[in-house]
Amino acid sequence: MRTVDVLRFARDAATGYPLRTFLSVLAMAIGVAAVVVLTALGDGARRYVVEQFSALGSNLVIVLPGRSATGGFSPANALTTTPRDLTIDDAFALTRLPSVRRVAPLTAGNSEINANGRLREVVVAGTASTYLDIRSFKMAAGSFLPEGDWNRGLPVAVIGSKIKEEIFGSAPAVGELIRLGDRRLRIVGVLKSVGQGLGMNTDEVVFVPAGVAQSLFNTNTLFRILIEARSRDEIEAVKREVAAALKARHGGEEDTTVITQDAVLATFDKLLRALTAAVAGIAAISLAVAGILVMNVMLVAVTQRTGEIGLLKALGARGTTIRDAFMAEAAMLSLVGALTGYGLGLFGAFVLRQVYPVFPAYPPDWAVIAALVTALSTGLLFGIMPARRAARLDPVQALMKH
């Protein structure tokens, strides 16, 4: 018997018994739809977290002076004092590395701000114009530090939202003069509130050009160098390039530590992936149940059509032909069920995205492929037994059952 004829025969047999066909297709569809929707939820959660981290600058690579044994990043060690042997020239040299998009030097210290008749203790961060984009900060008013030679800073400052609030209230701050330690600086911008990040509350920081900060604190070293990689994939390349460049600049001495925020993110990513896989596994159980249902439906079909099987044998059908026809029928039930379930699952994920727009509930490709393959293979696997039973029927006995 030709393959097209086997398929057509199986199709007609399936459509000839609409109720049982509908039920097994439905069971399979529910199984696949469950996998698709649940993995869309799980993977959506993962993407949501990753996106939140990306907003904080997940392509961030940080250089610390001194050799760290662990290399791990924690907010606590971001503020501890370390051998000061990073310079603005070191930082500037890193801007020329191929995988580096932006570099910002960072030197920090405590000082007093005196403005508008008020006095307040503040954290002063000396950096450059690039810092704004590396940290994805937004301006509430004015502009961030101007571009220019990092060593020769202009007498300007950018203040965090909380400082602006406490010193100027609702009055505009841009253009006002402040006194920072023994310096007189003009405010050129106010940051939007962002909250905690990298161990300091940015809303309570005064940003000044790196050169200004160094002369304020009477030092010529940097506290950190912040680097943004061109893409997530290039973070490792940046780590390597930066380490090599600094080693070369420091006379072959490995006296710096390069860390990434990505390490933290990777842990979250792994955790949520495992969660999604576990959820998919649970949903896959419904696929196995659907497979067993297909088997029962096919066993009923063999019993129902015993007379027909006997007839086919009398008309010259081989056992293998009958087996193939029943296998094809089981495969069709599974295939149609799986595709219907896939469609239903995609629709379910779509509804989820409409209801929760911030939540990127897309089923991951691996889950979709795994669900479809599992549906088809369970359908076929559970179709084998009924099909073989049909093929082995004794034709004389079968013909008597009519």
Which residues sit at the interface with another protein, rule CB under 8 A? 1-2, 4-5, 9, 12-13, 16, 307-308, 310-321, 395-396, 399, 402
Comparison of 7 and 264: residue with beta carbon closer to another protein: 7
Comparison of 145 and 390: residue with beta carbon closer to another protein: 390
Comparison of 17 and 53: residue with beta carbon closer to another protein: 17
The whole-angstrom separation of Cα 7 and Cα 4 is 5
Comparison of 226 and 297: residue with beta carbon closer to another protein: 297
The whole-angstrom separation of Cα 210 and Cα 219 is 11
The CA–CA distances, whole Å, from 113 to 65, 86, 166 equal 28, 27, 11
Comparison of 13 and 298: residue with beta carbon closer to another protein: 13
CB of 315 to another protein, least distance (A): 5
Cα–chain-centroid distance for residue 126?
Answer: 33
**Which of 223, 191, 267, 271 has the alpha carbon at shortest distance from 90?**
223
CB of 335 to another protein, least distance (A): 21
The whole-angstrom separation of Cα 140 and Cα 156 is 17
CB of 328 to another protein, least distance (A): 14
CB of 384 to another protein, least distance (A): 19
Comparison of 9 and 92: residue with beta carbon closer to another protein: 9
Comparison of 3 and 170: residue with beta carbon closer to another protein: 3
- Residue 137 token pair: 């900060």
CB of 18 to another protein, least distance (A): 11
Write out the H or E segment, with its range, that includes residue 139: strand 139-142
Q: Is 87 helix (H, G, I), strand (E, B) or coil?
A: coil
- Residue 89 token pair: 């020239």
- Residue 75 token pair: 């907010």
- At residue 63, φ and ψ (nearest 5 deg) are -105, 125
CB of 341 to another protein, least distance (A): 27
CB of 333 to another protein, least distance (A): 16
- Residue 397 token pair: 């006995």
CB of 280 to another protein, least distance (A): 39
Torsion of the alpha carbons at 350, 356, 362 and 363, rounded to the nearest 10:
-90
- Residue 150 token pair: 């990092």
With tokens 């047999």, the residue in question is 13
Comparison of 9 and 366: residue with beta carbon closer to another protein: 9
**Which of 223, 283, 224, 256 has the alpha carbon at shortest distance from 41?**
283
CB of 314 to another protein, least distance (A): 5
Comparison of 13 and 352: residue with beta carbon closer to another protein: 13
The answer to whether 185 touches 238, Cβ cutoff 8 Å, is: no
| Buried/exposed 46-66: b ≥16 CB within 10 Å, e otherwise | bbbebeebeeebbbbbbbbbe
